[in-house]
Structure formats: structure tokens, C-alpha cells
Structure 1
Amino acid sequence: MLKISRVGAVNIEHGRFPVGELWEPGFERREQEPDFQAIEPVVVVPGQIVVTSRVQGHAASVVLVVNDREDEAPGPTWALVTSVDYQPVYRGRMAALDTMNGPAGPAAEWLEVFGQWAGPGEPFVDLSPIRTYRAQVWSQGRSDSRERFDAVTQRDEGAARDGFEMYVIAFVPWGTQAAPLPAAEEGRRDRLVRKHGKLPLNMR
């Protein structure tokens, strides 16, 4: 089984970008700030994988993949950055996200990954909520992206700030879990107690 998303372009700010699970109505939101002081190139929090770029601000192409084969490179020019564990917390709908602006838009060019050509578009992929995954982060251009970026901007401050890095995030099924369930619907009485600490006099 090989599922490949479209090629998105994430606008990276502050040297990082998330790949996050889209919240679904009825589920309790799982929002936790990643530890940006960590030295790992990829940080995981519930519902998100945050990738650290070597360039503070630029646009990078990103493709999301679900692949049954462990440690299979997207191609001969891709280097493995790291592997991390991820477990779905909603229904498993993953998207590559801009640092500040939600799901990434389409990239400008096609990209060959795992022997197939992926066209420009919004980068989404569906994980099974009853599986856990090993997320493998692959890159092109990362090893010297900062040096190339600095050289270009020193020559021309208005130079285009894209094309320095490309990423493939491959999710490999790793184990199983109970499917995350929506929170039970809260009744009016429970909502009032939670909000005010007790029921109004006319409802006691």
C-alpha cells in the first residue's frame, strides 16, 4: 500500500513547520506547544510533528506518504533526517501546514517520490485512527541549505526564498491502538454547572 499526497509548499517561519492532524468536530482539542529548545530535528506533540529547518524563513516543498515498507527511501537523492513515533488523536487526516497560516498551498513543480510523480496541490494524507505509525522524515538539500541560503541573500537581499529544502514525511504503520473517540456530548445542565459552578436557582 502506497498513498502519496500532492506536493505542497510550506511557508517556513522561525525555522520550523508542522505536519498536523486536522481537528474534527466533537473531539477534545489536543493542543500542546512543542519544546522549541529541544535539539532534535523533529519534535512530536499530540496531533503534530514539528520539523526544524536549517533556514529561518523560506518556502519548502513537502509531500506526505503512507508506506507499508519500513526504511524505504523516496529515491536515491533523499537523506533520512530522523524517525519518530506518531499516533492519531482524531480521525487521522494529516496535512503539511504553514508555520502560521494553516494547510500549505500547492508547490510550483512536480516531484518524483517512490518512483511516482506527485503533482502540485494541497498536501493531505489519511492515516488509520486504529493504527500507530513510525514517521520517517526524508529531505533533499538540507545538508547545505543554510550555506546556500546565506550565499544567495548576501549577493541579493531580494532573491527568491524557496527551493533550498524539500521534504517527504512517510508514515509507516507500526502498531495498533483503540480508535480515538469524540467527547460525549455535554448537556445543558452539565454545561451550566461547568461554567458557573452550580445550577441556576430555577433549575435546582
Structure 2
Amino acid sequence: MAGGAAAPRALVALDADGAADKINLMPQDFFAELCEQIIQHLNHKFPGVNTAELCQRMQTSGIEINVGDLEKIANIISFLFSTAARNGLSTEELVTTLGNAVSTLPKHAVQVIRHVWNERGKSISVSEDARSMATVGQFVDIKWKLGVAVSSDSCRSLKYPYVTVMLKVVDPSGQITDKSFEMTIPQFQNFFRQFKEMAAVLETV
């Protein structure tokens, strides 16, 4: 089996980090949704895996799991799928590897992985370009709003206008994260000027 050495490494991490125990807490539908998002991300159809949103929904349903644990599970399953794709594993080879490497993985998780890989696994293409891009975070969305400072480290006086910028970024592991920061009006104007300069350069390419 071509992926016999690489795939168990992900599964050993799954066992050693206690992630298999956390998967036990996840109902089948939530685990299936996570696996589906991972597959879609690997197929470049989703910008990333939104573990924060999924975690919030799970917690609302009464499931005790934190976003760090969910990110750990997502990273390991993502590595498992991408390694299996790179090594051309069939569904049965992947399931055999799962069974041999981790005895603590719940039955419903193995069933989900089998189903998702059987339905979607062949569509994953792990190209060199995709692998090199995966080392850099990717921008997804930007929002901004104008406000008035009540208290701020960068604004000396109250009632001073400021701009809050909210970015949605996919980190190298494929997780969607939200970043936000405040700027004074002069800082925002400089920020805007730099974007205009970038746009002007891009028009000449």
C-alpha cells in the first residue's frame, strides 16, 4: 500500500493528542459536516474550514468541545485526506489503515470517513502549486466600520473617530480565522493609499 507509512502518522497523532476521544463527543452529523468542509477545501471549492462557526453551533447544542480541540481534529483529518489523495489510496485501503492505526476511533467516525472518501476522495488533486500555496495564508473577506473612540490606546482624546477593519483569513492549516484591528483616520487614509498603489501596479501587469 503506497500510503501505508504516511497515513498512520496522522492517525498516531490523532491517538496521541487525544483527538480520537474528542471525536467520540461529536455527533455523526457534525463530524460529517467537518469532513465535508475539509474535502471541499482540499478541492479548492471552500476557502477554508470554519471551525469557529462549527464549534459555536456544537456548543449551542450542548456538546462540550472547544475550538482548539476542533481545530486539532480538522488538521489531522485534513492531513489524512491529503496524504491519502497523494498516495492514491482506495476507500478500503484508507479504512484498513484507520482500523490498524487507531482502535479508539469511534465507529461512526470510521463510517463517515469511509462514506466521504468513497464519494469525494477521487476528486482531490494535490498539485505542486496547491502545496506551495498552502504554506501561505489566504485572504477571504474584509469589512470595516467607522466609530467614535470611548477609550483607545492609539487615540489620545475621547470622541475621536477611528476605523475598525475586520479580516477573514485562511491560515496555512486551512482554518478560517477572524482578525480585527483599529486605525486612526490618518492611518486608514495611508492604508487606502497603499491599496490604490497596489491596484495601479496590478493594472500594468
TM-score (norm 2): 0.27
The structure with the greater share of residues assigned to helix is 2
Could you say which structure has the larger radius of gyration?
2
The structure with the greater share of residues assigned to strand is 1
TM-score (norm 1): 0.27
If asked which structure has higher relative contact order (CA below 8 Å, sep 6+), I would say 1
